[in-house]
Amino acid sequence: MSNRTIVSVENLHKVYDNGTHALKGVSFEVKEGEFLVVIGLSGSGKSTLLRCINRLHEPSHGKIEFLGKDITHLRGRELRNIQKQIGMVFQHFNLIPRKTVLENVLAGKLASVSTWNSLIGNFPKTIVDDAYRCLEIVGIPEKAGVRADALSGGQQQRVAIARSLIQHPKLLLADEPVASLDPATSNSVMQYFERINKEFGTTIICNLHFLSLVRRYATRVIALKAGQIVFEGLPTEIDEKWFKEIYGEEAMEVEIR
């Protein structure tokens, strides 16, 4: 982990058009190389936070910096330039089901290839080689020619990770990436994030449900409750008292191994 701050969020507010105040003055910093996990009950604002960081959502108030640059209100080409450096993996994979695995990975590179070349499937060899390399990182190069919808959930999520890797992101955001998977597959998918974090030094910010996964993979944790940070620290610091504070008195911890 370096000492350089990759993401700085300062007094971030997000009010949706329907009036929902999803983030209420969130501030934190992320250092390069961290594996930061965001936890909190459903509806606490985790997804909104990630989507503000990569500007899929427009922040209502506050400031977001990426590698020291204020990106809060960037538009057009400048915004796309930043978004190319920030990969995103979603709960439901968001693959193009009828396309092959290779085509799905190459889709992560579309912004860099001319529309005409991408329409005729004409990607430079270097990019295709890179796509295979990304599939190797997630352990499924042999699936390159298979239709995405023929894969299991865990394999589809690995394709989605490969699609984000082809951008060579400095920051990888993952929004509940294992919430649709069974426990064994969840751990296997999380191990790819861990490997990417450790081997390539890619900073990861990941929303997670299960505390056992948080304890195993996070280098640091923040907890959101009703749009505000209520905990920031090491995974080992989340004891019974903090657990009840974050999830409520009625909550019970469910283990996933």
Tell me the pairing of strands 86-89 and 21-31. unpaired
Please report whether residue 16 would count as binding ligand ADP according to CB under 6 A: yes
Kindly indicate which of the ranges 43-51, 88-96, 113-121, 234-242 contains the residues binding ligand ADP, using the contact rule CB under 6 A: 43-51
| Nearest C-alpha neighbor of 82 from the set 106, 61, 56 | 56
Biggest CA pair distance of the chain: 58
* 3 state DSSP class of 17: coil
Q: Which is nearer to ligand ADP, 40 or 169 (CB)?
A: 40
- Interface positions, 102-161, toward ligand ADP (CB under 6 A): none
Using CB under 6 A, which of 6, 26, 40, 222 touches ligand ADP? 40
Please report whether residue 46 would count as binding ligand ADP according to CB under 6 A: yes
Cβ pair 103, 95 in contact under 8 A: no
Q: Which is nearer to ligand ADP, 47 or 203 (CB)?
A: 47
Please report whether residue 27 would count as binding ligand ADP according to CB under 6 A: no
Using CB under 6 A, which of 6, 26, 35, 48 touches ligand ADP? 48
Using CB under 6 A, which of 47, 156, 157, 202 touches ligand ADP? 47
Please report whether residue 91 would count as binding ligand ADP according to CB under 6 A: no
DSSP 145-178: TSBGGGS-HHHHHHHHHHHHHTT--SEEEEESTT
Using CB under 6 A, which of 44, 83, 91, 197 touches ligand ADP? 44
Phi, psi (5° rounding) for residue 6? -95, -40
Binding-site residue total for ligand ADP (CB under 6 A)? Answer: 12
Tell me the pairing of strands 69-70 and 61-66. antiparallel
One-letter amino acid of 190: M
Which residues are near ligand ADP by CB under 6 A?
Answer: 16, 18, 20, 22, 40, 42-48
